[in-house]
Amino acid sequence: MTKNTSNNTKELPNGWEWKKLGEVAEVKRGKSKHRPRNDKSLFGGKFPFIQTGDVRNAHKYITEFTESYSEKGLEQSKLWSKGTICLTIAANIGDVAILGVDACFPDSVVGILSKKGNNEFMYYFLTTLKEKLESKATKSAQMNLNVEKLVDFEIPLPPLKEQERIVQKLDTAFQSLDEAITLQKENIAHTQELKKAVLVEQIANLDCEMKKLGEVVNISKTKNPESKPDDFINYLDISSIDNKLFKVSETKLMLGKDAPSRARKLAKKGDIVFATTRPSLKNIAIIEAEYDNLICSTGFCILSPKSIIDSKYLYYHATSDFIQEQISPLIRGTQYPAISDKDLLSCKIPLPPLPEQERIIAYLDTSFAKLDALIMEQEERLAQLIELKKSVLQEAFEGKL
């Protein structure tokens, strides 16, 4: 074992040493100096412009991108060479990929080039740091990571030939493993699409009267928690919605005097909460008995069903693409896209008699229970594959591969 002279307590194999990232690599933020950033004259040219989402979606190498810079765009940025490692330090922090083409990127991405060793060895190690990087990030409306914190991260560095051997081993191991992970993600996506198809089959072609949501729901009541500052309230904000399962994941218990100014809308058991900020994210849920009598953010429209519509039937419609297609043209704003309550309440849904609504609910409940169980199994398999990949990486950087 090599004697450990760093702050890291882990011992390394002979010939390995701990080095700070800033000692062994050039680490610089991307550039996008022009304001506003979305100036149309900056885009549409021949220079690839890589954004955080492009890094996240890449499989090791970035060869696809959503935007490109013009000559004017290039002038206020920098063209990084093919082979540069890209690491995201804002929004989706800690995603890593290697440029497969010469490209520009903004200051939400850091460019890293190894000065001492194999660049792909550096890439593989950086993929292990996501959770640590997220923990170091500044928590705000959008998480950000300071480059000064990044350069202090320590890397276990073996001799160059050993780096090359490890990279070759990882490339071989991950070729089949990554294929299995991709296949599992596709299986999950397919099952989720099947759920949508089942929903459409049941509600899209009903031969009945169409009604606006505003005609089948009651206007939600409001309450100012500050009127009783020492009473506890159960508060629901948009971040507390699981938009994959369309359920409330948690609520926040607080005193009325501590409630945010947006805590105003009341919701009871059976109501549907529909986020009108970034509505395409589908932060929608039905209020179950355990969450009865919530005070919700004004970022929700509360759909409280009248007697002519079953709460569960309304819920299934609210989560459908049938509603999304109607609200999509009504969304306003770029930084904070949103619709109004009035926009949502203007959407139309088919309203069959209650017995037919109950039949549709029973069919969807049964079908979705089976499909949700399948998705859970698929997600467990995916999690196992991801954990296997992590364990292989851990062994590699402990000198055990």
Rounded to an integer, the average pLDDT of 302-317 is 96
Angle (deg, nearest 10), helices 311-318 and 160-203:
130
For residue 139, what pLDDT is reported?
61
Q: Mean pLDDT score of the chain, rounded to an integer?
A: 92
For residue 36, what pLDDT is reported?
86
SS3 (DSSP) at 299: coil
Rounded to an integer, the average pLDDT of 281-286 is 96
Rounded to an integer, the average pLDDT of 372-383 is 96
CB atoms within 10 A of CB 304: 19
Phi and psi angles of residue 369, each rounded to the nearest 5 degrees, phi first: -60, -45
String of DSSP letters for 51-85: -HHHHHH-BSEE---SEEE-HHHHHTS--BPTT-E
> For the ranges 29-38, 167-176, 254-263, which has the lowest average pLDDT?
29-38
Q: What is the CA radius of gyration of the chain?
A: 26
Query: Quick one: CA torsion of 48, 51, 56, 60, rounded to 10 degrees?
Result: 30
CATH of 210-351, one of 2.60.40.1120, 3.40.50.150, 3.90.1580.10, 3.90.220.20: 3.90.220.20
Domain 20-157 has CATH 3.90.220.20: yes
Rounded to an integer, the average pLDDT of 101-105 is 96
Tokens of 7: 């702050």
pLDDT in tens, 180-207: 999 999 999 999 999 999 999 998 888 9
Bond preceding residue 36 cis, omega within 30 of 0: yes
Partners of 154 in the beta sheet?
20
For residue 141, what pLDDT is reported?
45
